[in-house]
Structures are given as structure tokens and as C-alpha cells.
């Protein structure tokens, strides 16, 4: 969102008159800013960068000798783009790859090549290791969410990695880190205790995983003096369920409820992709497929609600967060790309998927404390795609940028009758919306019009807040399947939207299949 002032009187944006045509459906929305809810944890806008396809190599890391402009090997164009997203954390090195990763091979001068057996058996040079990842995270202004190897590693290996990264003492590992170029301890904001232990992370039962997880939680200690407690404390995230595996959540939470002093977790993960069929490509779909994909993605609401209800039983004080640390669309790999690269385009439909999921996480802000979209660059529902020296921003990128005011904003209840958009047998709400008071004091609304055929007029009545004016932007597109290409990289780009705002009301018209974010500035 570009910065904007509110010098104008209450009625603004007169230049862009609203077209209140009789045929345009209208939804009345009520917002009660006097009843603020929980804080929407900024970590719901987290990202994920796995050693997979061109996600890390090429997408982030080109090496210091590349002709692609870079800083210490990390490409500058990607850093500039990602910086604007104010990314709270980046999950790394996997994914499945985390459970075959041995960190010592990725530090120091002599790095042996290994095989990435999770993703196509490709050669892994280990050129991008701990120091390069931390440098990248620093360059984009984010924080590290490191996943340790539980599947094929040992607690000692994880403990050593943590000591290497975080100690300020002259231990053997502390001295090794300094000799490798980093004197000060790194900050590890979040620690993943394995990944998908029920699948690629070791094919364990929930009980087997709990047995392992307790030991890893016990021994993987953060020694950074700046992370001793408070809001700097490293969060430990246990492997949670695959989609609707409620029994897994039950087992992990039951174990946590009986824990002893020597181990703890701060979160349980949930993985759920919007996975239509891997035979379907990301582009070239019709309205029936558009609607059915949005229906599929809305399953997230049921998943989060049911897992949260189980967590409530064991943790009524909500000490353990639900971290949806893998989500997003998963289509057939683009023609011409290797099958294991998980490279796909991202359309306006993906932008709506992003907004709908972020809205679900925000509505469950009392329990959902983090989420990581899969994945950041060149993999699945990416923010950024690269081709040699070229880079483009996807429609999903724009949604993440538009949502930055919701980071650590306070959720505000909103009521409306969403209406219905129908496509064949599929019925969807016409509108999906959230509201929050941002750290900047503004009242922020996100409004998604799911109907690809009609605009939608919004008549918002606000209680407990007096607006001095409003501004916003909308991400719409000619077609629901529009996307950016390296030849036309700005085809789908947010544009300013006209909002008619008086003290306690705001009126605007949402284009078909669009995501709109507006900010109401408080009257002085
Ligand atoms: O994001 C791609 C893969 O999907 C991850 O490596 C794995 O955790 C999940 O199955």
C-alpha cells in the first residue's frame, strides 16, 4: 500500500464516481470497532523456501560470480521485491528436504555435493547453507524459521546446529561459526521439530513422532542471550496433522498436556494444500474449475475450526498456536519444467485463494499464530517467478503486499449476509471480508468479491470509529485466469479504488473476482 495522507474532507475520491447501477448486487456490512478481538499475528504472512526446483538455487541464490546483480550471491531483484512484503519469517530448508538435510555440509569452505533425494535426486551443491540463508533473511528484513532434521537425523545433530547458530560462548561450535565469518550469534525466531513426520519426514505414527519430538524439543536449545525470553523467545513448532487427521492433533496435544519441565512446544503445524488434481494446470481453466477450486480452498475453515477445537480441549488458555506452515495451490507442473520442480504459474484465481485463506487465519487469530505459504519463489503458489535475469511478481504477491497492514493488527468483528454466487452445482459466498485496526491506528478492511461475472457494491456501517477519509487499492483482472508473464509482467497489478467515506460509513464497488484492501484513517 502506498503511503497516503488524509487531508481531504470526509467525502473523498469524487473523481471516480461509483457506478451504482441497478443490476449491481449490494451487500451491507457492519463493523464494530468498539469490540476489538485478538491480534492477528504477523506470522500468518510467513513464507517458505525449500531446496526444491528453482526455489532456492536460481530463485534466491545465484552465487557471487553471477552476472545477475546480487549481494553476496543473493539476487537483488528478488530481495527488493520480497522486502516490500515485510515478511515476518521464512521457513527453511524444507519441507521434505529438511528431514534429509545435514547442516554441517552447508557451512565452511569445503562443502561436499550431496543428492536431494526428496526432489528429483538432483545434485545439491550445499552452496546455500546456514550463513547464506541467514544473510538472505537479513537482506529481506525477515526472521529465520529453521526446521531441524528429525526424520533421518539425531537430537545431537539438531542440538549442535542450534549451538552453532546461537551461542555467544567460545565453544568449539561457536568458534567454528566465527571462523566461518559470523562472530555474533544468529537469531533463530522459530524452530520446526521435523516436517510431515507422517510422510516424507519418517513415516511415523503420531505416537512414534511424539516420542521423537520430545527428545528433539528437550535437546535443541537456543543459547542466544537476546532470546532468553519474552517476545524474543524461539518458538518450537511440532509436526502437526496432514489436513483432516484429527487423531494426530489429539495425540500431540494430549502429550503436551502431560509434558514435564524439560520440553515444550509453542505450536503445532497443519499442512493443507488446495490441490485440485495434479492433472490440472494453474492456467487455462473455465468458470466451473474456478468455482470448484475456491470451494476446495474454503475447506481450510473447517480444518482450522476442528483442529482448534481439539487444541481447546487440552489447552484452553491457548498457549500452543496452530501454525499452518504449508498451504497454497498445487497444480500440474508447467509444461517444459521438470516434474520435481513444482513450478507453476499464478493467476488472479490464486490471488483470491490467498485472500480467502488469510481471512480464515485472521478470523481464527486466537489460535492461528502463524502460516507459511508454499512457496516463496518459483515453487507452487509463489510470490515471485524468475527466468534467467528476469523476474515477475505474481497476483499472489500483490495480495501479500496489500495485507501488510494486517500484520499485528487487532481483529474487529464484521457482520454481513455474504449472498451467493453459483456456478453449476457449486455455491459460494459472494463476499468474503475481514476488518482490523492496524498498528497505525487505521481501520483496515479486506473485501473479496468471489463472483467473476458481477461487481459488488459494499455499503459499510462502522461503529466505534470515526473516519476522516479512506483510500485503498484493488487487485482485479480482465479474466479470472489472467496472469503475469515475463513479456507482460504487470498485466495483473493493484490499482487505486474509489471509496466514498463519511464519518461512520464507507461505500465502494468491488470489481468481479477481485481482492480489495482499504484503510480508513481516524478523524482527529
Ligand atoms: O511444499 C512442497 C512439499 O509439500 C514439502 O516439501 C512437503 O512438506 C509437502 O508435502
Interval 182-200: pLDDT, tens: 999 999 999 999 999 999 9
201-212 CB burial, b ≥16 within 10 A, e <16: bbebebeebbeb
pTM confidence score = 0.95
Nearest CA to ligand 1 atom 2: 95
Distance between Cα 118 and ligand 1 center (Å): 9
The C-alpha cell that represents 146 in the structure block: 529453521
C-alpha cell at 395: 497476483
CA 351 to ligand 1 center in whole angstroms: 21
Tens-place pLDDT, residues 405-453:
999 999 999 999 999 999 999 999 999 999 999 999 999 999 999 999 9
Model confidence at 16, pLDDT cuts 50, 70, 90, reads very low
> Above 60 in pLDDT, residue 27?
yes
Specify whether 196 is catalytic.
Answer: yes
Residue nearest to ligand 1 atom 3, measured at CA: 95
How far apart are the C-alpha atoms of 388 and 486, rounded to whole Å? 10
Pairing of strands 321-329, 410-412: unpaired
Tell how far the Cα of 249 is from the centroid of ligand 1, in angstroms.
19
Pick from 258, 237, 257, 239: nearest CA to 248: 239
Q: Which of 271, 329, 375 to mutate to test the pocket of ligand 1 (most atoms within 8 A of CB)?
A: 271
pLDDT in tens, 458-493: 999 999 999 999 999 999 999 999 999 999 999 999
Specify the ligand 1 atom closest to the Cα of 97.
6
> Residue 431 Cα, ligand 1 centroid: separation in angstroms?
31
Mutate to test the pocket of ligand 1, among 94, 192, 198, 240 (most ligand atoms within 8 A of CB): 94
Q: In Å, how far are 187, 270, 375 from 191, measured between CA atoms? A: 11, 15, 18
Q: From 186, 76, 57, select the one nearest 139 (Cα to Cα).
A: 76
The preferred substitution site among 46, 49, 50, 100 for testing ligand 1, maximizing ligand atoms within 8 Å of CB, is: 50
Q: Measure CA of the first residue to CA of the last residue in the chain; give whole Å.
A: 22
Tell me how far the alpha carbon of residue 359 lies from the centroid of ligand 1, in angstroms: 23
Task: Using DSSP, state whether 202 is helix, strand or coil.
Answer: coil
Residue nearest to atom 9 of ligand 1 (CA): 95
C-alpha cell at 222: 537456543
- Class of residue 93 by CB neighbours under 10 A (exposed 0-12, middle 13-18, buried 19+): buried
User: Mean pLDDT across the chain, nearest whole number?
Assistant: 94
Q: Which residues line ligand 1 (CB under 6 A)?
A: 50, 94-96, 195-196, 326, 374-375, 380
Instruction: Give the residue-averaged pLDDT of 383-389.
Output: 98
Q: Band the pLDDT of 313: cuts 50, 70, 90.
A: very high
326 belongs to the catalytic site: yes
Q: Which atom of ligand 1 approaches the CA of 201 most closely?
A: 8
- Give the pLDDT score at 524: 78
Which protein residue has the closest C-alpha to ligand 1 atom 7? 95
More confidently predicted of 11 and 509: 509
> Is cis: bond before 95, omega within 30 of 0?
yes
Spatial neighbors of 166 by CB under 8 A, at least 6 apart, are: 185, 186, 187, 188, 222, 223, 224, 227
- The CB density around residue 19, as the number of other CB atoms within 10 Å, is 10
- Ligand 1 atom at minimum distance from 273 CA: 4
Q: Is residue 6 very low, low, confident or very high in pLDDT (cuts 50, 70, 90)?
A: very low
* Nearest C-alpha neighbor of 43 from the set 191, 190, 227: 190
Q: Is the pLDDT of residue 21 over 70?
A: no
Cα–ligand 1 centroid distance for 95 (angstroms) = 5
Counting from 1 in the atom list of ligand 1, the atom nearest the Cα of 375 is 1
What is the pLDDT at residue 360?
A: 98
Task: Give the Å distance between the CA of 105 and the centre of ligand 1.
Answer: 22
Atom of ligand 1 nearest to the CA of 380: 1
CA dist 367 and 307 (Å) reads 10
Cell of 9: 474532507
| Catalytic residue (one of 100, 132, 196, 473) | 196
| Predicted local distance difference test score (pLDDT) of residue 23 | 83
Q: Name the active-site residue from 58, 132, 212, 326.
A: 326
| Atom 8 of ligand 1: nearest residue by CA position | 95
270 C-alpha to center of ligand 1: Å?
12
Check residue 1 and give its pLDDT.
Answer: 30
**pLDDT one-digit tens code per residue, 496-513:** 999 999 889 999 999 999
The predicted model gives 311-327 an average pLDDT of 98
pLDDT digits (tens, 9 = 90+) for 64-80: 999 999 999 999 999 99
Residue 247, H or E segment:
helix 246-257
**Mutation choice for ligand 1 from 53, 99, 118, 196, CB with most ligand atoms inside 8 A:** 196
Amino acid at each position: 500500500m502506498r503511503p497516503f495522507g488524509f487531508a481531504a474532507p470526509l467525502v473523498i475520491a469524487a473523481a471516480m464516481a461509483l457506478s451504482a447501477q441497478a443490476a449491481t448486487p449490494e451487500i451491507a456490512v457492519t463493523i464494530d470497532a468498539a469490540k476489538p478481538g485478538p491480534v492477528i499475528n504477523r506470522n500468518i504472512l510467513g513464507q517458505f523456501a525449500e531446496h526444491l526446483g528453482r526455489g532456492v538455487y536460481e530463485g534466491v541464490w545465484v552465487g557471487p560470480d553471477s552476472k545477475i546483480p546480487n549481494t553476496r550471491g543473493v539476487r537483488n531483484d528478488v530481495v527488493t521485491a520480497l522486502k516490500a512484503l515485510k515478511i515476518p519469517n521464512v521457513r527453511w530448508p524444507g519441507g521434505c528436504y529438511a528431514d534429509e538435510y545435514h547442516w554441517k555440509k552447508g557451512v565452511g569452505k569445503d562443502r561436499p555435493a550431496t543428492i536431494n533425494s526428496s526432489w528429483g535426486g538432483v545434485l545439491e551443491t550445499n552452496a546455500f547453507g546456514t550463513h547464506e540463508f541467514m544473510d538472505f533473511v537479513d537482506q529481506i528484513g525477515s526472521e529465520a524459521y529453521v526446521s531441524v532434521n528429525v526424520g533421518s537425523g539425531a537430537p545431537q545433530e539438531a542440538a549442535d546446529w542450534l549451538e552453532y547458530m546461537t551461542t555467544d560462548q567460545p565453544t568449539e561450535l561457536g568458534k567454528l561459526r566465527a571462523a566461518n565469518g559470523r562472530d555474533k550469534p544468529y537469531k533463530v525466531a522459530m524452530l520446526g521439530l521435523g516436517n510431515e513426520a507422517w510422510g516424507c519426514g519418517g513415516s511415523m505414527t503420531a505416537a512414534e513422532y511424539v516420542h521423537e519430538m520430545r527428545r528433539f524439543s528437550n535437546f535443541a536449545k537456543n543459547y542466544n542471550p537476546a532470546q532468553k525470553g519474552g517476545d524474543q523467545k524461539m518458538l518450537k513448532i511440532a509436526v502437526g496433522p496432514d489436513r483432516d487427521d484429527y487423531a494426530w492433533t489429539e495425540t500431540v496435544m494430549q502429550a503436551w498436556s502431560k509434558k514435564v519441565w524439560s520440553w515444550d512446544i509453542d505450536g503445532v503445524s497443519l499442512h493443507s494444500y488446495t490441490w485440485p488434481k495434479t492433472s490440472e494446470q494453474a492456467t487455462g481453466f473455465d468458470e466451473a474449475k474456478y468455482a470448484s477450486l475456491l470451494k476446495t480452498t474454503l475447506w481450510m475453515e473447517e480444518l482450522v475450526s476442528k483442529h482448534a477445537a481439539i487444541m481447546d480441549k487440552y489447552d484452553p488458555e491457548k498457549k500452543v498456536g496452530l501454525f499452518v506452515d504449508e498451504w497454497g495451490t498445487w497444480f500440474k507442473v508447467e509444461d517444459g519444467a521438470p516434474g520435481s520442480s513444482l513450478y507453476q504459474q499464478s493467476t488472479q484465481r490464486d490471488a483470491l485463494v490467498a485472500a480467502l485463506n488469510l481471512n480464515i487465519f485472521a478470523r481464527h487469530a486466537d489460535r492461528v499464530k502463524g502460516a507459511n505459504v508454499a512457496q516463496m519463489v518459483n515453487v507452487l503458489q509463489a510470490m515471485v517467478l524468475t527466468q534467467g535475469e528476469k523476474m515477475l511478481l505474481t497476483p499472489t504477491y500483490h495480495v501479500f503486499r496489500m495485507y501488510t497492514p494486517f500484520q499485528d493488527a487487532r481483529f474487529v468483528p464484521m457482520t454481513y449476509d455474504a449472498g451467493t454466487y453459483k456456478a453449476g452445482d457449486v455455491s459460494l459466498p459472494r463476499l468474503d471480508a475481514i476488518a482490523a485496526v492496524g498498528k497505525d491506528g487505521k481501520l483496515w478492511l479486506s473485501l473479496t468479491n468471489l463472483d467473476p461475472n458481477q461487481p459488488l457494491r459494499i455499503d459499510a456501517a462502522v461503529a466505534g470509529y470515526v473516519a476522516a477519509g479512506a483510500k485503498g487499492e484493488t487487485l482485479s483482472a480482465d479474466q479470472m485466469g489472467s496472469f503475469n508473464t515475463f513479456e507482460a509482467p504487470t498485466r495483473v497489478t493493484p490499482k487505486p479504488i474509489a471509496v466514498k467515506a463519511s464519518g461512520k460509513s464507507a461505500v465502494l464497488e468491488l470489481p468481479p473476482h477481485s481482492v480489495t484492501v482499504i484503510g480508513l484513517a481516524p478523524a482527529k
